[in-house]
């Protein structure tokens, strides 16, 4: 059994333009005479590997703690794409029983590809980028997926993961009322 950690390290990971850079302060230090270590963390919930909830782009949409965990945990297919991903590409490479799709490579979703994923009933879409789509169509693609409660997992690292089917665990932190959350995403080889 292989376990692949597909998460970015938070402090050295990618940051979407305009988001806060993660930082921490050690407020208690055993090396300074305190009886324990304690750190204070400051970051955007969309830093590094993270999940977008519908509330990220939909007013009144589900917040991160309202996402069904069954969408974030279960069988997932890693599929490699380079360049623009169209609906035709989805029809060629995604099969009907692929309900969690992780896009490996620099593939960029188009709106018609997102709509095709919705037609297939996909529960989760993951990308190595810090956002689905590109800067021009980012909001449209988020809206198309999130209105169907598709979980968006962004900032994953699939460099060492071959294409195939795995068991995904990518549960978000239970951050009540927020539109997103960091997560520690892992893939496990099926036995």
- Pair 13, 48: CB distance under 8 Å: yes
**Does the annotation mark 56 as catalytic?**
yes
Q: Which of 46, 56, 89, 142 is catalytic?
A: 56
User: What is the three-state SS of the chain?
Assistant: CCEEECCCCCCCCCCCCCCCCCEEEEEECHHHCCCCCEEEEECCCCCCCEEECHHHCCCCCCCHHHCCHHHCEEEEEEEECCCEECHHHHHHHCCCCCCEEEEECCCEECHHHHHHHHHCCCCEEEECCCCCCCCCCHHHHHHHHHCCCCEEEECCCCCCCCCEEEEEECCECCCCCCCEEEECCEEEECC
Which residues are known catalytic residues?
A: 56
């Amino acid at each position: 059994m292989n376990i692949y950690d597909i998460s970015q390290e938070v402090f050295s990971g990618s940051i979407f333009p305009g988001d806060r850079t993660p930082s921490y302060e050690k407020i208690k230090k055993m090396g300074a005479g305190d009886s324990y270590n304690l750190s204070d963390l400051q970051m955007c919930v969309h830093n590094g590997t993270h999940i977008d909830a519908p509330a990220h782009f939909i007013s009144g949409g589900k917040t991160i703690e309202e996402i069904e965990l069954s969408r974030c945990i279960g069988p997932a297919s890693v599929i490699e794409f380079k360049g623009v991903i169209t609906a035709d590409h989805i029809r060629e490479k995604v099969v009907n029983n692929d309900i969690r799709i992780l896009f490996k490579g620099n593939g960029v979703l188009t709106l018609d590809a997102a709509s095709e994923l919705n037609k297939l009933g996909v529960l989760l879409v993951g990308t190595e980028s810090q956002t689905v789509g590109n800067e021009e169509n980012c909001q449209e693609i988020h809206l198309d997926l999130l209105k169907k409660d598709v979980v968006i997992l962004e900032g994953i690292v699939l460099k060492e993961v071959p294409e195939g089917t795995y068991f995904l665990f990518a549960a978000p932190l239970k951050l009540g009322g927020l539109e997103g959350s960091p997560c520690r995403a892992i893939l496990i080889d099926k036995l």
